[in-house]
Amino acid sequence: MPKLRSACAVSLVIFWISLLAGAQEPPLQVTSGLHTEVYDYLTAIARADWSQRDARIAAIHTSAEVEQRQTFIRSKITELLGGFPARTPLNAKITGGFSRDGYRVETLVFESRPKFYVTADVYVPTSAKPPFPAVVGVAGHTQTSKAAAFYQHGWISLAKRGFVVIAFDPPGQGERIQYYDPELGRSRVGTATSEHTAVGLQCILTGGNIANYIVWDGMRAIDYLLTRSDVDPKRIAVAGNSGGGMQSAYLAALDPRLAAAAPSCFLTSSEKLWTDFVPQDAEQNIIGFLANGLDIKDFALAFAPRPFDFLTATRDFFPISGSRAAYAEARRIYQVMGHPEHVNFFEYNDTHGWSVPRREATYRWFQKWLNNRPDDEGVETNFDVEPASRLNATSTGQVATSLGGETVQSLNAALGERLAKERPTLAGDALKRAIASRIGIPVDHKPQVPKIANFGEIGRDGYRIVKIALETEPGVQIPALVFEPSSAAGRKSAVLYLNPEGKSADAAPDGDVESLARAGYLVLAPDLRGWGETAALGGSFPHDGRYHLSMRAMLVGRTVVGMQATDLLAAFDYLAARPDVDSKRIGIFSKGNAEVVALLAAALEPRVHQIACEGGPVSYLDIVRARFHGEIADIAIPGVLAQFDLPDVAAAIAPRKLWLVDPAMPSGEPELLGKVTPEYQSAERAYAGLRAQKDFRITIRPEGWAFAKVYGEWLSR
């Protein structure tokens, strides 16, 4: 026992010594309170957008002005969603069915696009005579989708009241899991919201939106209803909750064939959703929506003067104050149109969901306006619902295993391939203009030394670390660490060191940054907006802080990459102005997704001397081609593949030294170099044409190899 006590005492002493030794060096944090900085910056832009938009709406006083606004809403949203395809044969097929008291159910499969199969259930009244009014029933983000019990209660209650209902699965839900794994028996990427966001980010790169596919399915469902002789084409409505409320609102705004709408738990104001909650799934964020003068409130305005019912919950995460503001605005527009009675506001003191009170309000609204039954109190009776499997339209319960066909990812990948093949090759000033336009920054970067604040320094063997903050835009501070070698005299070569995990990620003793400093380089490691001290907090993948930041940026016409490029160019100007730096020998080293901002900044700034990118993406086309991907929200550039890709940017950097080390697959795993090289043939040709073949390299960093061993030649003057 004494020996044990002695050993414990020694261990305790060693522990405290190591703890004290580790505590001797001050932390590498520069300042504090910057986690909301980028949010505040974007919010200021959004407030200007909201103010301008609301002023335009307040200036509307005639029906003609309302109609002009409605035309703008429909055309602009359609444009921002990427435009809808031509109508193709539905190839609709009833695959089964059964009868119940007062209605029957037909299981249905149709193709909204060629081989893009939509699974649906059609509820048909049997206690009344056709033609019937009809309802497009759109499901929110539930795994069982159209077959969820609370949705079945809604569809059956409507059918018992004499409505034909077509209830269909959106992609990523019900029988249409896009990432279905037969061995797991479920999606490989998670719930419906995760599926939508995963492929939704890929759609952004081709200039589209997953909402395009979801809304088009709804429009084609209306097309199907119009083929049925038992449906009155002038009495078709739409209803749904949450994600279904979103679909209801989108369809109401975009499809003039609808006669009534009752979105539940979605409509609010863009301002309240922005400030009181967070950007949600990919289909709910239309790129450039706010920048183009639009607001969630516009969905109701576009429907006037047709009957529109706001169904809301007082304790919803879609803020009720925003819902009330949206209704107040809509009511004024309906008054201008001469039909204030055609818009209604129903709220109930409960939480998010298509609860009984909101379902009953839906029945009353549709009965009043489509079935000439204003006396119906909308009471929902008790009845049994079906097991979800009973409502399957496919033999296996999944399109993936019964029909195959296309997915949103495969269709978007085909679009990406077509864009890559058809786009003209841009170079020189034309490429610079395209880059600046796509990422949302001015095309002409005028060198301007940013203001600097000093926050102290840390001494280390052979160099010191100076903690600074750079003002890269008015009111925007970027924390950074400057590693200043003590041995090198005169003007030094410098490196901008970029890591999305933050400026401190590789700053430990014996790390990669220290290797650069010991080689005599002055190193500047900044927290570009969204990294390190400026990273947004909260959320989890895929709806984490980076995702929320990226969505907010794109709503107001900005991108994370564009903001970071602004920061990086300002950081370059700071280095170029330092008297101890050789302005002709400033390079950029990046890790991971920082490759994108490194390449784009180098293409825009010809003074960048050399670039090395480790573990970065191969190309945007590679991301679009991939069935699965990892963290890409921070590098999403809307419509980038319509104009350029990373290999084009690499070609524009020639003849400056460019190394691509350990290129990564979209999942983040190492990519085979044999697959990478063909994508960079244009870059190889550009370097060869300038007799600089030796300065372009695609290589690997073997596990465990030190920085100097891999990059010794890149570091050579």
- pLDDT tens digits for 130-143? 999 999 999 999 99
Which residues on adjacent β-strands are paired with residue 97? Answer: 106
Of 478, 639, 631, nearest to 557 (Cα)? 639
Q: What is the pLDDT of residues 48-88, one digit of tens each?
A: 999 999 999 999 999 999 999 999 999 999 999 999 999 99
Residue 41 domain flag? no
Give pLDDT tens digits for 519-572.
999 999 999 999 999 998 877 667 888 999 999 999 999 999 999 999 999 999
Residues 125 and 256 in one domain: yes
Structural domain for 109, as ranges: 61-83+92-417
Residue 111 in tokens? 């193709």
Q: Give the pairing type, strands 260-264 and 231-241.
A: parallel
Looking at 417, 452, 472, the residue that finishes a domain is 417
Whether 115 is covered by a domain: the verdict is: yes
Domain presence at residue 603: yes
Q: Does one domain contain both 577 and 698?
A: yes
Res 334: pLDDT: 98
Cα–Cα distance, 448 to 245 (Å, whole number) = 48
The pLDDT tens digits of the residues spanning 172-222 come to: 999 999 999 998 999 988 888 899 999 999 999 999 999 999 999 999 999
190 & 295 share domain: yes
- Asked if 562 and 677 sit in the same domain, the reply is yes
- Per residue in 468-481, pLDDT (tens digit) is 999 999 989 999 99
pTM recorded for the entire structure: 0.93
Residues 122 and 196 in one domain: yes
Contact (CB, 8 A) for 520 and 488: yes
Flag whether 27 is in a domain: no
CATH of the domain at 346: 3.40.50.1820
**374 shares its domain with 469:** no
Alpha-helical regions (H) of 142-242: 149-160, 192-205, 210-225
Say if residue 466 is in the same domain as residue 339.
Answer: no
Indicate the residue type of 496: L
Boundary-marking domain end, from 361, 383, 417: 417
Q: Is position 12 within any domain?
A: no
**Closest alpha carbon to 198 in 535, 530, 438, 541:** 541
Any domain includes 347: yes
pLDDT-derived band at 8, boundaries 50, 70, 90: very low
Domain match, 385 and 443 both: no
State which of 382, 417, 452 marks the end of a domain: 417
Q: Are residues 410 and 455 in the same domain?
A: no
pLDDT at residue 717, as a whole number? 59
Domain identity same for 394 and 450: no
Expressed in percent and rounded to 5, the helix, strand and coil fractions of the chain are 40, 20, 35
* Pair of tokens at residue 635: 């590098």
Could you tell me if residue 15 is inside a domain? no
Same structural domain, 359 and 442: no
> Residues 296, 238: contact at Cβ < 8 Å?
no
**Confidence check: pLDDT of 12 > 80:** no
Q: Tens digit of pLDDT for each residue in 341-385?
A: 999 999 999 999 999 999 999 999 999 999 999 999 999 999 999
Do 435 and 393 sit in the same domain of this protein? no
pLDDT at 26: 67
463 assigned to some structural domain: yes
One-letter amino acid identity for 607?
R
Taking the C-alpha atoms of residue 445 and residue 423, their distance in angstroms, rounded to an integer, is 26
Domain count, the chain: 2
